[in-house]
């Protein structure tokens, strides 16, 4: 039986991708080690590596330790072979960051969105932000390989469409295709929490971990999921909408239009709203003398002994812990990374969160669970969006839709 040319080409591309990913994940690495790990012949590895060096994707970086003969030449990815723009979109601002292939930020900026919700106006603002970021970075635009765009909501990355955005009130709005057409650069759309999860899988605490979850708390509450080492999106990109699990029947209203969601019980705006309501009721608190009342103000008050501030943060953390315990019971992860702007609330929120996880997780599932609290500013989110493009660049061809 003879393989058709198309099959031979696919196998060749898969072998090339295998070598490239080994260099990316294990580098600096020798050709001999690549052959051992990949199962490819030395001749095949040498041929593929030669092609990658010729294209500028890989470079030699000196000799490694000898095991009895000539010292092996070590290989690593050339991080300057191309660049990526990661974009974090919120209803208030657009943060864009140009990174190299190691997701190191070369240039970043944040521009206000000024409450624009019209899809065309938002697309115009994203295009302008990307163009300015590339120009200010000094990088040749032809060396930009792709744009990663992260936003909250249900996002169908396969077709680049925002299926639903609670903050913009969008339904089925194409985002990636029109921006890609205007800029002439591939655009990959992804849920913003998923962008952080992909970044953790590539470069962070999730690297090499088979089962982990990233939970973000801030303006909303969300989750990114990795199962069996594979990032999990769901059918139309809606997996991980942790914030919209209903926990209290007829509870407080949520931005999604329903009531009693986790997000309506644990997010940063809820803490601020509850603080303002308590002040209006005349509850004793130093927050009454602090304007404006923000999450930072609530945290500052808690640190100086304010009972109301401590109670509100603890209640937020308790609800968050109940939500995470649900994930632990369903997914049984090794690791939970808690991130987002709400991390600045510190142990006033996360002490009660840990207690709630232990109290509500099924017997034994939280015993060996590793919980890491990691801050994430807007630039971190944008860097995560850049990692979405990296994931596409290094994805095995058999998984790519053509």
Which of 318, 329, 393, 395 has its CA nearest to residue 366?
329
Q: Are residues 369 and 224 in the same domain?
A: yes
pLDDT score at 13: 83
Q: Are residues 342 and 229 in the same domain?
A: yes
pLDDT score at 2: 44
pLDDT score at 203: 82
Q: Which domain holds residue 187?
A: 83-199+381-399
Q: In this structure, are residues 125 and 111 in contact, taking their beta carbons and an 8 Å threshold?
A: yes
Q: Which two tokens stand for residue 9?
A: 């080409």
Stated pTM of the model: 0.83
Q: Are residues 293 and 180 in the same domain?
A: no
Q: Are residues 72 and 88 in the same domain?
A: no
Q: Which two tokens stand for residue 102?
A: 């190691």
Q: Are residues 194 and 243 in the same domain?
A: no
pLDDT score at 4: 46
Q: Are residues 273 and 362 in the same domain?
A: yes
pLDDT score at 98: 95
Q: Are residues 52 and 154 in the same domain?
A: no
Per-residue pLDDT 10s for the chain (402 aa) are 344 445 777 788 888 888 888 888 787 899 999 999 989 999 999 999 999 898 888 888 866 565 555 677 899 888 888 899 999 998 889 999 999 988 889 999 999 987 778 999 999 999 999 999 999 999 999 999 999 999 988 999 889 999 999 889 899 999 999 999 999 999 999 998 999 998 898 888 998 899 999 999 999 999 999 999 888 989 888 899 999 999 999 999 998 889 999 999 999 999 999 999 999 999 999 998 888 999 999 999 999 999 999 999 999 999 999 999 999 999 999 999 999 999 999 999 999 999 999 999 999 999 999 999 998 777 788 888 888 888 887 776 645 544
Q: Say which CATH number the domain at 27 has.
A: 1.10.10.10
Please name the residue that has the structure tokens 């590539």: 202
Q: Are residues 217 and 352 in the same domain?
A: yes
Q: Are residues 221 and 172 in the same domain?
A: no
CA 202 – CA 384 distance, rounded (Å): 10
Residues 6+ apart with CB under 8 A from 136: 107, 109
Q: Are residues 139 and 160 in the same domain?
A: yes
DSSP result, 94-162: EEEEEE-TT--EEEEEEEE-TT---HHHHHHHHHHHHHHHHHHHT--GGGEEEEEEEESSEEETTTTEE
Cα of 103 vs its chain's centroid, Å = 12
Say how many domains are in the chain: 3
Which of 381, 332, 361, 395 has its CA nearest to residue 148?
381
Q: Which two tokens stand for residue 207?
A: 């690297």
Q: Are residues 356 and 211 in the same domain?
A: yes
Other C-beta atoms closer than 10 Å to the C-beta of 395 total 12
Q: Say which CATH number the domain at 153 has.
A: 3.30.420.40
Of 21, 47, 77, the domain-final residue? 77
Other C-beta atoms closer than 10 Å to the C-beta of 282 total 8
Q: Are residues 177 and 115 in the same domain?
A: yes
């Amino acid at each position: 039986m003879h393989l058709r040319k198309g099959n031979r080409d696919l196998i060749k591309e898969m072998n090339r991708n295998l070598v490239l990913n080994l260099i990316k994940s294990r580098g600096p690495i020798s050709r001999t080690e690549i052959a051992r790990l990949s199962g490819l012949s030395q001749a095949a590895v040498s041929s593929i590596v030669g092609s990658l060096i010729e294209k500028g994707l890989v470079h030699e970086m000196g000799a490694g330790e000898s095991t009895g003969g000539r010292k092996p030449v070590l290989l690593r990815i050339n991080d300057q072979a191309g660049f990526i723009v990661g974009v974090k979109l919120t209803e208030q601002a657009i943060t864009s960051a140009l990174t190299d292939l190691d997701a190191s930020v070369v240039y970043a900026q944040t521009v206000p969105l000024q409450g624009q919700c019209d899809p065309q106006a938002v697309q115009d603002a994203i295009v302008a932000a990307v163009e300015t970021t590339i120009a200010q970075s000094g990088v040749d635009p032809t060396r930009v390989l792709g744009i990663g765009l992260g936003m909250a909501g249900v996002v169908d990355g396969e077709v680049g469409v925002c299926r639903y955005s609670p903050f913009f009130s969008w339904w089925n709005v194409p985002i990636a295709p029109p921006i890609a057409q205007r800029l002439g650069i591939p655009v990959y759309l992804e849920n913003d929490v998923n962008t952080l999860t992909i970044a953790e899988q590539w470069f962070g605490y999730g690297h090499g971990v088979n089962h982990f979850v990233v939970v973000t708390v801030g303006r909303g509450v969300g989750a990114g999921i990795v199962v069996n080492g594979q990032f999990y999106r769901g059918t139309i990109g809606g997996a991980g909408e942790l914030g919209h699990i209903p926990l209290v029947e007829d509870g407080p209203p949520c931005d999604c239009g329903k009531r009693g969601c986790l997000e309506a019980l644990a997010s940063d705006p809820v803490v601020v709203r509850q603080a303002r309501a308590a002040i209006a009721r005349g509850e004793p608190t130093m927050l009454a003398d602090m304007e404006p009342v923000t999450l930072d103000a609530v945290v500052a008050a808690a640190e100086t002994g304010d009972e109301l501030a401590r109670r509100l943060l603890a209640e937020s953390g308790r609800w968050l812990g109940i939500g995470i315990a649900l994930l632990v019971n369903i997914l049984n992860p090794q690791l939970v990374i808690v991130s987002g702007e709400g991390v600045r609330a510190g142990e006033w929120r996360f002490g009660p969160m840990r207690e709630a996880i232990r109290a509500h997780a099924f017997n034994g599932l939280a015993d060996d669970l590793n919980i890491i609290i990691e801050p994430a500013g807007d630039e971190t989110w944008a860097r995560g969006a850049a990692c979405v493009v990296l994931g596409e660049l290094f994805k095995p061809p058999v998984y790519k839709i053509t």
